[in-house]
Amino acid sequence: MSEQLKFLVEQLNREPFKKNFNLITFDSLEPMQLLQALNDVLAEIDPKQAIDIREEMPEQTAKRMFTLLGMLKYKPPGGMSEASSFRQGLVMGSKPVVHPILHWLLQRIPELKKRAYLARFLVKLEIPAEFLQDDIIAETYHQYEELVEGFKNIHKECEQLKSSGFSTAEIRRDIVAMEEEKDQLIKRVERLKKRVEAVSNHQRMLELARQLRVEKEREESLAHQKQEQKNQLFQAEQRLQRCQIQLKDLQQAGADEKPESLMKRLEEDIKFNSYMVSAKLPRELENMRKVVQYLQKVASEPAMGQAELRELEDKIRETNTEINQLIEKRMMRNDPMDDKLSLFRQQAAIIVRKKEAKVEELQEAREELAAVERELNMKSSQARERGGVELIRGDEFKRYVAKMRGKSSAYKKKRQEIAELKVEYGVLQRTEEILRERHTAGQQQLQSLEAQQGISGYSDTQEELERVSAIKSELDEMKGRTLDDMSEMVKKLNSVIAQKKSALSPLIKDLRALRQEHAELAPEYEQKKAQYDTCAVGLESNRSKLEQEVRVLREETAQEESRYHHINCMREIIESQMQRAADQSKINQSMDLQVRRTALREKYIANTAEQESLGKALRQQVKQVRENQEPNMRQMKMWKDLETLLECKKQCYLKAQSQAPIGHIIQDVGKDMLVL
C-alpha cells in the first residue's frame, strides 16, 4: 500500500499534473478532492473529461467515469461480484476504490490515450432493431459501418508508416531537392539548345547523338544479357556435374547391392515418405495454422496491460484447478475397465511419441546427410576445377578406409613384434655364443677323458637317455598336476554353491513373504495415495483461498484502523469546538455586563471595527497622498531652488566681506547695491 501511495504521489507531482502532494497531504485528501484528482487524470487521457466536479451532479460524475473506465477496459479488483460496492465506493470517493484506479491509469497513460482516441470512432452506436427496419436509417448505418472500417484501415496504415521510419520532413526535403535539380536540368537543357542552334546542321547531329545513345543502351543491355547467359551456363554446368556425380554414386551403390536390398531400401523410403505425408506433415501443418490463427487473433486485439495479463493468469490457474479436480473425481471412481484402457492408451501414446521422435531423428539425419553431400559435391567440383584427382565417394570410400585401418593396425602390430624379436634375437645370439664356447670346451675335455679311459661315445648315449627320462617325468608330473587342479576346482565350486544356497534360502523365504505382502498392500497403497493426492489438492486450494481472505481482511483492517484514527481526531476537534461554543453561549446568556464585555465575541467585534476604522483612515491618507503628490513635488523643487539661491547669496556676501577696500555696499529698503 505504501509503495502504491509513493507511486501515485510521484506521478501526480510530475508533468502535466504538478499537484505538489506529499504522502501525508495526499492520504488526507477529502473524497471530493480525491475525485477531482481522478477526474484530472481522466482529462489528461480524454480532454472531454476536463470538468470541475463541483459544478456537476454526483450521479452524472459517476456515470461519466463509469463509461470512460469501461471504454478503457478497467476491471475492478473484486470482479463482477463486487460491482455494486465498487460503484458505491467511486460515488463516495472511497480511497480503497480510487487509489487502485489512479494506479492503473498512471501506469499506462500513453496506451490509454490511444485507446480513448480510437474509442471515439470505433465504439459503434447502439440502434434498436425496429429503427433499422427503416431503409434510410439502415443505409445510413451501413455507411457509418463502412466509415468505421475505413478509419480502421487508415489508422493501421498510419501506424505502419510511423513505425517504418519514414519522416515527412525528410520526404519534403527530398522533394524540394529534386525540384531544384529538375529546374537546374531544365536550365541546362535550354542553354545547350541555344548553343546547338548556332551550329549548322544541328538537327542531323542531334539525330545521330540520339541514335548513338540508343545503341549504347542496347550495347549495355546485350552485355547484361551476355553476363546473365554466362551465369546460367555456369549454373547449368554445375547442375550437370552434380547430376553426373549423383549418377556415378548411384551406379557404384547399385553395382555392389542386390535387387532385394534395393527393394527393401525403397520400401523403407516409401513407408517413411507416406508416413510423413499422411500423418506427420498434416498434423504439423494443422498446428502451424492454429498458431497462425492464434497470432492473428492476438495481433488484431489491442495491447494488453499488466492487469489484464494478471487476470488471464488467474483464469489459467482456475482452469488448472478445475482440471485437477476433474482428474481427482475420475480417479475416485476407480473403474477397472477404464484403468485397463488407460494403461493401453498410455502405452499407445508412448509408442506414438517414440515413433515421432525417431521420425524426427531420421529426418534430421537425412537433412544432415544431404547437407554433407552438397558440401562434398561442392568441394569435389572445386578440386576438379583446380586440376585435382578424382575423389573416392560413397561405399567405396568406406571400404577403402576400413581396409586402410586394418592394414595400419596390422602394420603397427607386426612392427612391434619385429622390434621385440630383434631384441630377443640379439640376446639369444650372445647367449648361444657363450654356451657354444662352454659346450665346446666341455666336449673337448670329456672326449679327452673318455679317450684316456677307453669309453669314447659314452657321454652322448648318457645324455640321450637322461633327456628321454626327463621328458617322460615332466609329462607325468604335468598330468598329475592337471588332475589335482581340476579336482580341487570342482571341490571349491561345490562348496561355494552350497554356501550360496544356504545363504540365499532364508532370503528367498523372506522374499516370498514380502512379495505376498506387497501384492496385498499395493491396492491399499494406490487407494491411500489417491486419497492423499485428493486431500492435498483440496487443502492447497483451501489454503490459497484462506490466504486470499486473510490478505483482504488485513487490508480491510488497515483501512479501518486509519479510518478509526481519523474519526477519533475529528471527534476531538468537534468536541473542542462544541466546548468553545458552549462557553460562548454561556457568556452570551449571562446577565453580568462586565462578563459580557469580556466575551470573546465582543472582543472579535471590537477588534474588527477597530481594524476597519484603521484601514479606512489609511485608505483616506493614501488617497490624500496620491492627490497632493504633484503639488508637493513642485513645492519641494521650489524649496530646493530657494536653498540654492540663498547659498549663492551667502557665498557672494562672504566674498564681498573679504574684498571690502575695493568698494562698499549700500543697503536700502528692499534692495542692495555694490558701489566700486
How many CA atoms are closer than 13 Å to the CA of 614, on its beta-carbon side? 6
What are the DSSP calls for 179-206, one per residue? HHHHHHHHHHHHHHHHHHHTSTTHHHHH
Neighbours of 551 (CB within 10 A): 10
What are the DSSP calls for 378-416, one per residue? HHHHHHHHTT-PPPP-HHHHHHHHHHHHHHHHHHHHHHH
Contact present, 306 and 107 (Cβ < 8 Å) = yes
Question: pLDDT of 402-415, one tens digit each?
Answer: 788 888 888 888 88
How far is residue 106's CA from residue 12's CA, in Å, rounded to a whole number?
A: 9
Return the biggest CA–CA distance within the chain. 210
Candidates 379, 357, 329; CA nearest to 533 is 329
Q: How confident is the model at residue 662 (pLDDT cuts 50, 70, 90)?
A: very low
Fill in the DSSP letter of residue 279: I
Give me the residue label for grid cell 515413433: 355
Contact present, 109 and 44 (Cβ < 8 Å) = yes
Fill in the DSSP letter of residue 302: P
Instruction: Please report, for residues 273, 600, 607, 620, the alpha-carbon distance to residue 610 in angstroms, rounded to integers and kept in the order given.
Output: 111, 15, 5, 15
Displacement of CA 425 from its chain's centroid (Å): 77
Average pLDDT over residues 652-670: 64
Which residues make Cβ contacts (< 8 Å) with residue 598, sequence separation at least 6?
A: 587
How far is residue 275's CA from residue 448's CA, in Å, rounded to a whole number?
A: 99
Cα-based angle 333, 335, 340 (whole degrees, multiple of 5)? 140
Neighbours of 72 (CB within 10 A): 21
Contact present, 72 and 116 (Cβ < 8 Å) = yes
Which parts of 590-628 fold into alpha helices (H)? 593-597, 600-627
What the block records as the C-alpha cell of 205 is 547531329
DSSP-derived 3-state class of residue 46: coil
Residue type, 509: K
pLDDT the model gives residue 676: 45
To the nearest whole percent, how much of the chain has pLDDT over 70? 85
Task: Using the predicted structure, report yes or no on whether residue 302 has a pLDDT greater than 70.
Answer: no
Instruction: Please report, for residues 107, 272, 282, 283, 362, the alpha-carbon distance to residue 286 in angstroms, rounded to integers and kept in the order given.
Output: 39, 20, 6, 5, 22
DSSP-derived 3-state class of residue 668: strand
* Positive or negative: CA dihedral 549, 555, 558, 560: negative
Residue type, 272: F
Q: How confident is the model at residue 593 (pLDDT cuts 50, 70, 90)?
A: low
Fill in the DSSP letter of residue 676: -
Task: Using the predicted structure, report yes or no on whether residue 646 has a pLDDT greater than 60.
Answer: yes
pLDDT the model gives residue 147: 87
**Upstream peptide bond of 631 is cis (omega within 30 degrees of 0):** no
DSSP-derived 3-state class of residue 303: coil
Contact present, 73 and 115 (Cβ < 8 Å) = yes
Task: Using the predicted structure, report yes or no on whether residue 673 has a pLDDT greater than 60.
Answer: no
How far is residue 398's CA from residue 380's CA, in Å, rounded to a whole number?
A: 17
User: Per 3-state DSSP, what percentage of the chain is helix, strand, and coil (rounded to 5)?
Assistant: 85, 0, 10
Q: 384 or 420, which is more confident?
A: 420
Average pLDDT over residues 2-18: 79
Task: Using the predicted structure, report yes or no on whether residue 650 has a pLDDT greater than 60.
Answer: yes
Q: How confident is the model at residue 5 (pLDDT cuts 50, 70, 90)?
A: confident
Candidates 58, 116, 43; CA nearest to 89 is 58
Instruction: Please report, for residues 343, 533, 541, 667, the alpha-carbon distance to residue 325 in angstroms, rounded to integers and kept in the order given.
Output: 21, 10, 10, 135
pLDDT the model gives residue 458: 63
pLDDT the model gives residue 226: 92
Give me the residue label for grid cell 528367498: 508
Lowest mean pLDDT among 35-39, 274-278, 349-353, 449-453: 449-453
Domains of the chain in sequence order? 3-123 (1.10.418.70)
DSSP-derived 3-state class of residue 147: helix
DSSP-derived 3-state class of residue 671: strand
Residues linked to residue 674 through DSSP beta bridges, in sequence order: 665
